[in-house]
Amino acid sequence: EAGVTQFPSHSVIEKGQTVTLRCDPISGHDNLYWYRRVMGKEIKFLLHFVKESKQDESGMPNNRFLAERTGGTYSTLKVQPAELEDSGVYFCASSQARAEGYTFGSGTRLTVV
Amino acid sequence: GNSVTQMEGPVTLSEEAFLTINCTYTATGYPSLFWYVQYPGEGLQLLLKATKADDKGSNKGFEATYRKETTSFHLEKGSVQVSDSAVYFCALNRNTGNQFYFGTGTSLTVIP
């Protein structure tokens, strides 16, 4: 079974540019989550999709971040325009329904310069 | 609120040394507790978990016991190996939603 796939693995962009991160969950997993780890800090929840619907987006930092999950399959997280403080590692995870079934991707390291 | 506090790193140990990484939590209700590990270049992997007080999670020689009285879930291993070098994250999940609350991570380097 393929795991959770994220790409790109690394992205370096200039402040003010736009970046789109993609996550392909495990096939059949209705739940998809985005998390972020800013350098040296805790991994923080951003949002949760159930199929194509946003179940909880309480962790989204501001309106420069837009997440979509068209058709309930893969998801994208767009940052526009990017700021320096957006640098960090963005993790995606998917699950069927229970917490112990969570599978994380390897993350996208975003650097805004 | 819900939060996890874990021991700051980095931690450097010699092979076969004893490892303890402290983790304490604050949570409403009765959360499940987890340790995740991130090896270099890889994603977060579940290392072990405990779902109720006094439960002990164990895997790959690592252990952690859910202590409700001290709100702790310390990770231990009796004899670390070079291959254990990774970043370790303590986390909780309240079971009423699927959101995890993570600690800041502890980087472990084991030297031969």
pLDDT in tens, A37-46: 998 889 999 9
- Residues in B touching A29 (Cβ below 8 Å): none
Suggest the residue from A104, A108, A109 to mutate for an interface test with chain B (most B CBs closer than 10 A).
A104
- Over 90: is that where the pLDDT of A1 sits? no
Closest CA to B91 of B110, B105, B107, B77: B105
Distance (Å, whole) CA A103 – CA A106: 10
- The reported pLDDT for the residue numbered B8 is 83
Closest CA to A108 of A45, A36, A57: A36
The H helix count followed by the E strand count for chain A is 0, 11
- The reported pLDDT for the residue numbered B96 is 64
Residue pair A51/A74 in contact (Cβ under 8 Å)? The answer is no
- The reported pLDDT for the residue numbered A39 is 84
Say yes or no for a CB contact (<8 Å) between B4 and A42: yes
Closest CA to B88 of B46, B27, B55, B32: B46
When the pLDDT of each residue in chain B is averaged and rounded to a whole number, the result is 93
Residue pair B35/B89 in contact (Cβ under 8 Å)? The answer is yes
- Over 90: is that where the pLDDT of A101 sits? no
Q: To the nearest whole angstrom, how far is the Cα of A37 from the nearest Cα of chain B?
A: 9
Q: Across residues B93-112, what is the average pLDDT?
A: 88
Residue pair A100/B46 in contact (Cβ under 8 Å)? The answer is yes
- The reported pLDDT for the residue numbered B97 is 63
- Over 90: is that where the pLDDT of A33 sits? yes
Q: How confident is the model at residue B10 (pLDDT cuts 50, 70, 90)?
A: very high
Q: How confident is the model at residue A102 (pLDDT cuts 50, 70, 90)?
A: confident
A101 and chain B in contact, CB less than 8 A: no
- Residues in B touching A91 (Cβ below 8 Å): 43-44
- Over 70: is that where the pLDDT of B71 sits? yes
A11 and chain B in contact, CB less than 8 A: no
A107 and chain B in contact, CB less than 8 A: yes
Suggest the residue from B25, B88, B99 to mutate for an interface test with chain A (most A CBs closer than 10 A).
B99
Q: To the nearest whole angstrom, how far is the Cα of A108 from the nearest Cα of chain B?
A: 10
When the pLDDT of each residue in chain A is averaged and rounded to a whole number, the result is 92
Q: Are strands A75-79 and B62-65 parallel, antiparallel or unpaired?
A: unpaired
- The reported pLDDT for the residue numbered A20 is 98
